[in-house]
Amino acid sequence: MKNEVNKELMDPMRKNPDNWKWIFYINRRDPRLIVPKLNPTMGWTINLGNTWAVTGLILITAIVVGWSIWM
């Protein structure tokens, strides 16, 4: 039941073109870290409006760059 309510609330946010900048999804009001793309068969994307998602992306990038420099 709760999943149905969440989907009803979150799906319109994902489909709103104002929340998409090129291929990037940016919506500070959406609490999800990862959201389906406009065409769900194309996969998922990161919500760049979520602080935790951006922090994770920066951390992963720093680890990959640090690892490549160290090796």
Mean pLDDT value across residues 34-63: 90
Mean pLDDT value across residues 48-67: 92
Mean pLDDT value across residues 20-29: 88
Structurally, how many domains does the chain consist of?
1
Token pair of 16, please? 């709103």
User: Can you give the residue range of the structural domain that contains 17?
Assistant: 2-70
Angle ∠(53,35,49) on CA atoms, nearest 5: 40
Distances in whole angstroms, Cα of residue 24 to Cα of each of 50, 59, 71? 12, 19, 31
- What span, in angstroms and rounded, lies between the C-alpha atoms of 58 and 50? 13
What is the reported pTM? 0.70
- Amino acid letter for position 71: M
